Amino acid sequence: MTSAPSFHVLSGQVIAALLATGHDEVVGVVRDTYRMHGRRETNNPDSYFLRFDDKPNARIIALPAAVRGESPVSGIKWIASYPDNIRSNLQRASATLLLNDYETGYPVACLEASQISAARTAASAVLAADLLSRGQAGGQEGGRRGGRLAVVGAGVIARTILDYFRAQGWRFDSLAVHDLNEADAERLRDVAPSLAGERWVAASLEEAVRGASHVVLATTAATPYIHDATLLHAGQVILNVSLRDLAPELLLAACNVFDDVEHCLKAATSPHLAEQLTGGRDFVAGTLADVMDGTLVPDRDKPIVFSPFGLGVLDIAVGRHLLARAVAGGHTRRIDDFFPDTARW
């Protein structure tokens, strides 16, 4: 019998413990992966959507990807988005991540991935805030000081973004939270008291966003609802995490930075609608990798909008990092007989 690879399972409890002490490491993995993606050292095909006739707002998404480099790995994230879950106090998203050996294709690990997905999203957003805020008046090196942080949408993603802002040493003068569910907004307001001086629940979108130095959009909106151009101002950094909040006309007057242009310009995102509206891509400034390598300097005479579609390569890279930590610490459930005899004959 030919020796088969071991198969590891990482539970949500293990993932939570690893992420709780690994904010800087996750940001570093995301930064490095963006650079690799910019150098075309990754494979990131289109996501695949499973939809349901009787559940029109629900979907399960498959994100296959591969990261090469010194420790190549491939895999797939399988993430369900069921917005109606929140009515019964269930999280909207649940996910698993399957990692494969790059050389043989054999699966090597299954990881609980809703936390990985939230962490890589938050790390991406906070990294973008850092890079896109540099050089602003009053900003410190790395841009880790802001006026008002406005957060629209008070769910798990927003909570994780605030956690990463705190862990990366950010400090804001104030924090305004707006959500259609006031109780959720109140909970999010109280998550990170050290992040901002004054913190309040904004009664309206306008109250939260107008005049804010940084804006986080983290809702489940399916179509744009922000149409008022006066809410945006030059140099304002908008983290368009949920992708469908901003009217396409607003993007045409902004400096638009993406994680990946081709991926963002699809699936009826705000950037996709802007492309359809104009018939072109002149509104696209470039990618975050372009900012990192110095080929793109954000136009601070416009609002700066970062639109991350959410690349599968980030999940794969963060999953690989967490698997290595878990194996080194003996924190995985190892299944040595997961595979049958792997010999062909």
Residue 139 binned pLDDT confidence (cut-offs 50, 70, 90): very low
Domain 7-116+312-335 of CATH type 3.40.50.720? no
- 175 neighbors 199 (Cβ within 8 angstroms): yes
pLDDT digits (tens, 9 = 90+) for 145-171: 899 999 999 999 999 999 999 999 999
pLDDT > 90? residue 341: no
pLDDT band at 138 (very low <50, low <70, confident <90, very high): very low
| Domain limits, the chain | 7-116+312-335, 130-307
- What superfamily does domain 130-307 belong to in CATH? NAD(P)-binding Rossmann-like Domain (3.40.50.720)
CA distances, 177 to each of 139, 198, 207, 217, 221 (Å): 22, 11, 9, 10, 16
Pairing label, strands 214-217, 196-201: unpaired
Average pLDDT over residues 94-102: 96
d(CA 267, CA 310): 13
Report the mean per-residue pLDDT for the chain.
Answer: 93
Beta-strand relationship, 42-43 and 107-112: unpaired
Residue 173, SS3 per DSSP: strand
Instruction: State the CB neighbour count (10 A cutoff) for residue 94.
Output: 18
- In this prediction the pTM is 0.93
Q: What are phi and psi of 37, to 5 degrees?
A: -65, -40
Buried b or exposed e, range 328-341, using 16+ CB within 10 angstroms: eeebbeeeeebeee
Among 6, 1, 3, smallest CA distance to 336 is for: 6
